[in-house]
């Protein structure tokens, strides 16, 4: 009994504060957002708090599939913003969403190279050159699926030296100079600043990742949750997201 209680407490602790029972628009709003949204959603949460005095927005950032797993295991959250439709659909199929998810942003791949581009990568085809130490995401995660799709579309046989679990791991290997090039998102290159250089490639348009957002069925604060969704999908949200490198939502 005690152990069970301790486990429940632990779970609740991880997920942050549960929303209070009232639906007055005040209180705590818990948002689960994909890791790539860290900077933009932190800014939007502050903006929302300023617009709604008395409301406290807690954002938990992690990989989309981790967050989806936590939600399906009962973590108390009001809003979920995913980096792909697959994880959102998983929750939809399980009946854990309120209403239809809305697409609010898109993200495309970019080639990140260490400062100075030591391996002289200038195009998507260069990634397949023998001896190039390319790092990508594994196919199981969205950024890897996008890389695999591009590789197939253009018949470029990519043979990465490592297929990482997350896009941040790919970026880390480029920043440290271990990799000659990495396939990451445009937003990652933007947030890495001058620690990496970016090689634009037109082929990237062939694999666009869409970001859906939805209110969760377990939310007891649906009015506030809906208002937060409106902010994210509205003009202010679009502006913040565009600054981070996200593309506009194209349904």
Partner 1 sequence: MRGMKARAAYTGVPGWLYALAVVAALVVVLPLLAIVARVNWANFLPMVTSEPALSALGLSLRTSAASTALCIVLGVPLALVLARGRFPLQGLLRSLVLLPLVLPPVVGGIALLYTFGRQGLLGGALEVLGLQIAFSTTAVVLAQTFVALPFLVVSLEGALRTGGSRYEAVAATLGAPPRVVFRRVTLPLILPGLASGAVLAFARSLGEFGATLTFAGSLQGVTRTLPLEIYLQRETDPDAAVALSLVLVAVAVAVVALAYGRPAGGRTAGQVSGKRTTAPAPAGGNVP
Query: Which residues contribute to the site for partner 1 (CB under 8 A)?
Result: 2-3, 6-7, 63, 65, 69, 133, 135, 138, 140-141, 160-165, 169, 172-173, 176-178
H/E element, 97? strand 97-114
Two structure tokens written together for 70: 């936590």
Between 3 and 50, whose beta carbon lies closer to partner 1? 3
Tell me whether residue 35 or residue 227 sits nearer to partner 1 (CB atom).
35
- State the minimum distance, in angstroms, from the CB of residue 201 to partner 1: 23
Judged by beta carbon, residue 21 or residue 131, the one nearer partner 1 is: 131
If the CB atoms of residues 153 and 165 are measured against partner 1, the closer one turns out to be: 165
Q: How far is the CB of 196 from partner 1 (least distance, A)?
A: 14
Q: How far apart are CA 74 and CA 70, in angstroms?
A: 7
What minimum distance in Å lies between the beta carbon of 142 and partner 1?
Answer: 9
Kindly state the smallest distance separating residue 57's Cβ from partner 1, in Å: 27
Q: Shortest gap between Cβ of 165 and partner 1 (angstroms)?
A: 6
Q: Hey, CA dihedral for 215, 217, 219, 224, is it positive or negative?
A: positive
Minimum separation from the CB atom of position 233 to partner 1 (A): 27
Q: Which two tokens stand for residue 205?
A: 């348009």
In this complex, which beta carbon is closest to partner 1, that of residue 137 or of residue 229? 137
What are the contacts of 158-163 at 24+ separation with CB within 8 A?
Answer: 158/127, 158/128, 158/134, 159/128, 159/134, 160/134, 160/135, 160/136, 161/133, 161/134, 161/135, 162/135, 162/136, 163/135, 163/136, 163/137, 163/138, 163/139
Tell which residue, 240, 233, 250, has the closest CA to residue 99: 233
CB nearer partner 1, residue 172 or residue 226: 172
Partners of residue 197 on adjacent β-strands: 113
């Amino acid at each position: 009994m005690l152990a069970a209680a301790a486990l429940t407490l632990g779970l609740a602790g991880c997920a942050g504060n549960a929303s209070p029972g009232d639906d007055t628009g005040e209180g705590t709003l818990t948002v689960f957002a994909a890791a790539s949204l860290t900077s933009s959603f932190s800014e939007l949460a502050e903006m929302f708090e300023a617009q709604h005095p008395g409301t406290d927005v807690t954002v938990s950032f992690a990989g989309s599939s981790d967050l989806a797993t936590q939600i399906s295991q009962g973590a108390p959250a009001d809003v979920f913003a995913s980096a792909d439709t697959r994880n959102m659909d998983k929750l939809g199929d399980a009946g854990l969403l309120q209403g239809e998810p809305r697409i609010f942003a898109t993200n495309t791949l970019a080639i990140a190279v260490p400062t100075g581009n030591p391996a002289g990568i200038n195009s998507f085809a260069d990634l397949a050159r023998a001896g190039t130490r390319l790092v990508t995401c594994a196919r199981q995660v969205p950024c890897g699926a996008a890389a695999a799709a591009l590789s197939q579309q253009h018949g470029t046989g990519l043979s990465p030296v490592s297929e990482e679990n997350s896009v941040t791991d790919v970026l880390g290997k480029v920043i440290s100079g271990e990799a000659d090039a990495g396939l990451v998102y445009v937003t990652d290159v933007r947030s890495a600043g001058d620690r990496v250089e970016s090689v634009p490639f037109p082929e990237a348009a062939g694999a666009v990742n869409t970001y859906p957002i939805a209110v969760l069925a377990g939310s007891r604060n649906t009015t506030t949750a809906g208002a937060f969704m409106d902010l994210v999908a509205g003009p202010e949200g679009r502006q913040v997201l565009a600054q981070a490198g996200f593309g506009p939502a194209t349904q």
